Structure 1
Amino acid sequence: MMPRPANRFVAADLSAHCSRDRELERALAPLVGDELQSGRLALTRQGATLIAVCADRALATEIRFQQRELLKTLAAAGIEAPAEVRIRLDSTPRAPQPEPVAVQREIPESARSLLMQTARSVSDPELAEALKRLAAVPPQRS
């Protein structure tokens, strides 16, 4: 007997639900963006209710005081404003977004000489200067 595919058990409108949540987060980012990015707050919508899942009581209190502003911001963003806000506590509403890792990239000498050669043959002076600046970037030290 073959196991059934997992997507058979997932609601058909899951992607629509996730895109609505992202739309809420984008609209409310000016008010609660730091909490969303740190993973201390998650927002979702159930019918006419905006649900804010908070990591701690302090954040829940802050969201409670900002309820009207949150609803006004959603209405101004063109999103059908929910009728009420419900606040829930959970120690980890969602995983925080990973910090971007800075990748150190080196420009090999052969590429530097090719950039300089191309800069001399290009007729556009702005492009030629940009290529020269790129070729002159000093190698990064670890």
Structure 2
Amino acid sequence: MKPQRISRFIAHDWSTHSSRDRGVERAMEPLVGDALQAGRLAFTLRDDSLVAICADRGLATELRFQQRELLKTLAAAGFAGIERMRIRLTHTPRAPEPAQRLEPREIPESARQILADTAAGIQDDGLANALQRLARAAKTPPD
């Protein structure tokens, strides 16, 4: 039995609202990207207003000074009819983006040797160099 798609269970209005808010945040990212990524700021649209949900007063003040530029950027991104901006304060507007952790690569010695041998037999220099780098980078640390 094939599982049903999650979108089947989510109301269409909510899905539309969520994708619109993601579009607003993508449009605003060049101006306030650091605060968005850190989870200190979130944007949403309500009727003819852009609502900025801020984590601290300093950010709210900065947004008040940038209000005209933010509304112009939003209009240029295709969100017409947004005429004013409201700012709300809360402790956590949204969860911060998780930091990506790099998992250590471990490739056995036999596999590293196969990578090196394969690289020696390939005529494409770019691919051969990539295989050699992979064989060198995957060395297991000494215990």
* TM class, shorter-length: 0.7 to 0.9
Q: Give structure 1 regions of 4+ aligned residues with deviation exceeding 6 angstroms.
A: none
Q: Is the 8 A contact 1:74 1:81 kept in 2?
A: no
Contact 1:71–1:81 (CA<8 Å) still a contact in 2?
Answer: no
1:20-64 Cα offsets, whole Å, 9 max, x none, are 111111110111111111111110001211000111211111111
Supply the distance in 2 between the matched residues of 1:119 and 1:66 (Cα, whole angstroms): 54
- Please report the TM-score for the alignment, with normalisation by the length of structure 2: 0.83
Secondary structure at the aligned position of 2:12 is classed as coil
Shift of 1:126: 2.4
Match of 1:106?
106
1:41 aligns to what? 41
Percent of aligned pairs sharing the same letter: 58
Q: Residue 75 in 1 paired to residue 75 in 2?
A: yes
Aligned to 1:126: 126
Give the unaligned 5+ runs of structure 1.
1-6
Which stretch has the larger CA shift, 30-39 or 126-135?
A: 126-135
Residue 14 (str. 1) matches residue 14 (str. 2):
yes
Aligned equivalents of 1:122, 1:8: Cα separation in 2: 48
- TM-score using structure 1 length: 0.84
Q: How has the CA–CA distance of structure 1 residues 57 and 9 changed in structure 2, closer, same or farther, with 3 Å as cutoff?
A: farther
State the Cα distance separating 1:100 from its structure 2 match: 1.3
Q: Which amino acid aligns with 2:85?
A: V
Correspondence 1:95 to 2:95: yes
Partner Cα distance (2:13, 2:67) in 1: 28
CA gap of 1:9–1:129, structure 2 versus 1, over 3 A, is: closer
Q: How well do the aligned residues superpose, as a CA RMSD in angstroms? A: 2.3
SS at match of 2:134: helix
Q: Offset at 1:91?
A: 1.5
Secondary structure, in 3 states, of the residue corresponding to 2:126? helix
